[in-house]
Amino acid sequence: MTELHGAAAAGDTDLVEEILHSGSCNPNAKDPHWSLRTALHWAAAQGKADMVKLLILNGARSCSRTETGWTPAHFAAESGNLSVLRMLHSLHAPVDKADLYGDTPKRIGEIYGQKDCVKFLEIAEQECSNYRRVTEVKGILLDDTDEEWENQKVEEMAERQADGTNTSNNTCGIHQSHKNYSCTERPKTATQKGKLSNIRRACKKKKS
């Protein structure tokens, strides 16, 4: 955690401003000990709309993602910080991005019972989408994608698919090796850890 992270987490707007003006900390630095949160994530979680604006105007990316894909808007919605959501939306921050599990800030607000935030996001999501389309048509570059996180997500999905293929091949191999046996007891299902439990089988080789 950098000094900027600490100041943002503590809700100290004056100290955040001092650090930003000194240029001693990268406003987009991600904290590996806190799921890759940036100072902006902390500011949003703390409900500090003025700090959110200060950070964004000094180079903090409002599209930054944590390990699970949360944007600052997700944190604001979770905590019911409507003022922060309004500030993010006014600065054209993405308030409609889904996290790693498919949950948008609006969905997070629904889960945590933040009715005012949900009501606001129902309109803000559509406005955000419309603004994105307008910038594309006009050729305006919009900073609303955390490329590092997106690339990491693609790599993880490829690894999962590869693991699934290997698991399928291994299962086929097990079935093939048992084709010459008949079992009087069905094998038990896998345990939660994914390892086959000990199976007692009363098997005898088929007569040739």
Containing structural domain, residue 114: 3-148
Q: What is the mean pLDDT of the chain?
A: 84
What is the domain count for the chain? Answer: 1
The string of DSSP codes covering 11-62 is T-HHHHHHHHHHT-S-TT--BGGGTTB-HHHHHHHHT-HHHHHHHHHTT--T
* Whether pLDDT at 131 is above 90: yes
The answer as to whether 50 is a domain residue is yes
The answer as to whether 64 is a domain residue is yes
Q: Is 162 exposed, middle or buried (0-12, 13-18, 19+ CB in 10 A)?
A: exposed
The answer as to whether 51 is a domain residue is yes
The answer as to whether 168 is a domain residue is no
The answer as to whether 170 is a domain residue is no
The mean pLDDT value for 92-100 works out to: 96
The answer as to whether 66 is a domain residue is yes
The answer as to whether 43 is a domain residue is yes
Taking alpha carbons only, the member of 121, 60, 67 closest to residue 95 is 121
In this prediction the pTM is 0.76
* Whether pLDDT at 135 is above 60: yes
pLDDT attached to residue 156: 81
Q: Tens digit of pLDDT for each residue in 1-30?
A: 899 999 999 999 999 999 999 999 999 999
Residue 116 sits in a domain of what CATH number? 1.25.40.20
The answer as to whether 141 is a domain residue is yes
